[in-house]
Amino acid sequence: MATHKSTARVMVLGLDGATWDLLGPWLEAGYLPNLAALRASAAWGRLRSTTPPFSATAWTTFATGVNPGRHGIFDFWIRRGNERQPISSLAVGAPTLWDLVSQAGQRVAVINLPVTYPPRPVNGVMVSGMMTPGEKATYTYPPELKEQLRAVAGGYRADPYAAITQSRAFLRQAREWVCRRERAHRWLLLREPWDLFINVIQAPDPIQHYFWTFLLPGHPDYDTREGEVLRGLALDVFREVDTIVGQRLRLLGPWDTLLVMSDHGAGEATHWFNLNRWLAEAGFLALSGRGRPGVLAGRLDGGRLFDLLRRLDILHLRQRVGNLARQRLRERVDRLMASDVDWTRTVAYAGSPSAEAIYLHTAGGRLQGAAYERVRDEIAEGLLALAGPDGGPVVEAVYRREELYHGPYLDQAPDLILEIGHRPYILSEALSTRELFTRIPYRAARGRHRPEGILMIYGPYVRQPGERPPARIEDLAPTILALLGLPVPAEMDGRVLSEWLGEVPVETGLPQAPTLPTPALPPYSEEEAAAIARRLRALGYLD
């Protein structure tokens, strides 16, 4: 059994949204030989994400080893009363792995992680990922690295998957961006001295969102000619990812450890659950009557109108113009058809689809003490009793925020958090429909996040290869610190994965936590915030 060496390094390769439900059959079929070889030689298993299992919260929990109540990121948005603004790295209220490793004098390279814009100074290099507002932004540290990456890769974009279409062209473009960005990442990997190298490949997540019905058997489109072509092109993207895994393995030194992991899993959704409509019907959300909910004598609401437009698309323009354009159309339809919220009478409203949560409207002190608890109890009981179109429950659990989270940012968390788990629903906050459930068309985004991602750990400190009990995403930060021979802060909620590793000593002396600035407002202009909102809407993270 290996003992810890001071020359040990850790390489982390994140595959955003990767799931064994998809990768497992492909590994067995021989499509991904490098991932198959890695799993055969590694400790591997499922990695439990955060609740809810969305990238902003999950990647920040990975980076800090603490729960959202301690790092302050609960969604892609920061709530300011009834308004919201996109998050940034300035909103993260806990030290990250790269803060701690840099403070210890070791070198880091952090590439393409969500919620790292604007990049903070580190002892090494950083390239921000998802939530970067655009190519005009300075998304590298040091700043001059940006142009170097663009030159090495023949073009580089921090967030290249915004213009999603369910088309062959998008999949070919996704493969090209995986290859192009890997040229830059591999250049950094070979050029930079590093003790901790982290980079995320984003492509699996948008592909699973928009092509899930073509990836696994059981859907009407799976065996069609178009389905076979799209599945083959999607598999080509994953094969490029597999090639990168093989390259990483060949670059490992004798005392290096490789972690391949995902922030959450994925699965199918069949219906949107219109949560604000349910809150309105249950008497918790009040509508003013303004707006146009009675269009065409009440026979056509926003959901039905958009579905009608989709069905009338005989020229298949929706596949050509891209999801951003379709989302703009849906947004306009929703604004046209929806009633306004009467905030003077509303006590509860849905968070964004990426929050899977409910906020109580406590302005003016109307909901305090026993009244506050009574409303939370009533909403939780109603949702737990609600059956979906398949006759099963809509939610697997409803949590009060203090049941999931703890820490200085608890009061910023939603009041109730819904666990959708493996149920086939995507939450919607839309007010333009009168239906509680709206069926998602097969040719729409039917992939949704699920709680279990993947984890493989390979290197000299790993016990006998094989499957392990599930780990939690907050366990990775303390495990990485232990592998680097660095102390694990007492504040971390995660633990070192001793059952996955050999006898890696955990340093007992606690580090002095880096001083972080007080979480600040997002550094985005109105134009940049609107661009980020459009991208998140394209992925289904905003109605």
pLDDT in tens, 55-91: 999 999 999 999 999 999 999 988 766 677 899 999 9
pLDDT beneath 70, residues of the chain:
1-7, 80-82, 289-339, 363-366, 506-522, 542-543
Residues 253 and 277 occupy one common structural domain: no
Calculate helix-pair angle for 225-251, 20-28, nearest 10 degrees.
90
> Shortest CA distance to 423 belongs to which of 272, 216, 274, 205?
272
> Could you report the per-residue pLDDT of 495-535, keeping only the tens digit for each?
999 999 977 776 655 555 555 555 566 688 888 888 888 88
**Does residue 516 contact residue 120 with C-beta atoms inside 8 Å?**
no
Amino acid at 231: R
Asked if residue 298 is part of any domain, the answer here is yes
- Same domain (yes/no): 435, 493: no
> Is residue 398 located within the same domain as residue 498?
no
Q: State which H helix or E strand residue 231 sits in.
A: helix 225-251
Q: Is residue 524 part of a domain?
A: yes
Q: CA dist 422 to 22, 67, 270, 271, 453, Å?
A: 15, 22, 12, 13, 13
Whether 330 and 300 share a structural domain: yes
What is the total count of domains within the chain?
2
Contacts of residue 488, Cβ cutoff 8 Å, sequence gap at least 6: 65, 478, 481, 482, 496, 506, 507, 510
364 and 473 part of one domain: no
| pTM of the shown model | 0.90
Q: Which residues of 171-183 are buried (b: 16+ CB within 10 A; e: fewer)?
A: bebbbebbebbbe
Instruction: Give the angle subtended at the CA of 472 by the CAs of 469 and 476, to the nearest 5°.
Output: 105
For residue 2, is it within any domain? no
The answer to whether residues 459 and 23 touch, using CB atoms and an 8 Å cutoff, is no
Three-class HEC string of 28-84: HCCCCHHHHHHHHHCEEEEEECCCCCCHHHHHHHHHHCCCHHHHCCCCCEEEECCEE
**445, 466, 487: which is the final residue of a domain?**
445
Question: Could you tell me the residue range of the domain that residue 312 belongs to?
Answer: 268-445
Using DSSP's 3-state secondary structure scheme, residue 219 falls into: coil
In angstroms, rounded to a whole number, what is the distance separating the alpha carbons of residues 199 and 128?
Answer: 10
How many alpha carbons fall within 13 Å on the CB side of residue 24? Answer: 12
Mark which of 427, 445, 463 sits at the end of a domain.
445
- On whether both 349 and 282 belong to a single domain, the answer is yes
Angle at 73 (CA atoms; ends 414, 78), nearest 5 degrees: 65
Task: To the nearest 10°, report the CA torsion of 291, 297, 302, 305.
Answer: -140
- Choose among 252, 187, 261, 198: nearest CA to 8: 252
Query: What dihedral angle (degrees, nearest 10) is formed by the CA atoms of 247, 251, 254, 260?
Result: -50
- Structure tokens that stand for 486 in this block: 């660095």
Q: How many whole angstroms separate alpha carbon 260 and alpha carbon 201? A: 11
| Domain presence at residue 359 | yes
Do 186 and 209 sit in the same domain of this protein? yes
- For residues 74-91, b (16+ Cβ closer than 10 Å) or e, as one string? bbbbbbeeeebbbbbbbb
Same domain, yes or no: 18 and 148: yes
How many residues are present in the chain?
Answer: 543
Work out the end-to-end distance of the chain between its first and last CA atoms, rounded to an integer number of angstroms.
Answer: 52
Residues 403, 380 contacting (CB under 8 angstroms):
no
Does some domain include residue 388?
yes
Domain check: are 372 and 503 in the same one?
Answer: no
Rounded to the nearest 5 percent, the helix, strand and coil shares of the chain are 40, 20, 45
Residues 288 and 241 in one domain: no
Give dist(CA 281, CA 348) in Å, integer.
12
Q: Are residues 412 and 432 in the same domain?
A: yes
| Same domain (yes/no): 241, 274 | no
Distance of alpha carbon 279 from alpha carbon 379, whole angstroms: 8
d(CA 56, CA 280): 29
The pLDDT value recorded for residue 472 is: 98
Nearest-5° angle of CA 149, CA 193, CA 205? 50
Partners of residue 466 on adjacent β-strands: 43
**Could you give the angle at the alpha carbon of 57 between the alpha carbons of 110 and 256, nearest 5°?**
35
- Looking at 429, 445, 461, the residue that finishes a domain is 445
Query: For position 313, what pLDDT does the model report?
Result: 45
| pLDDT value of position 530 | 84
Whether 68 is in a domain gets the answer yes
pLDDT on residue 426? 94
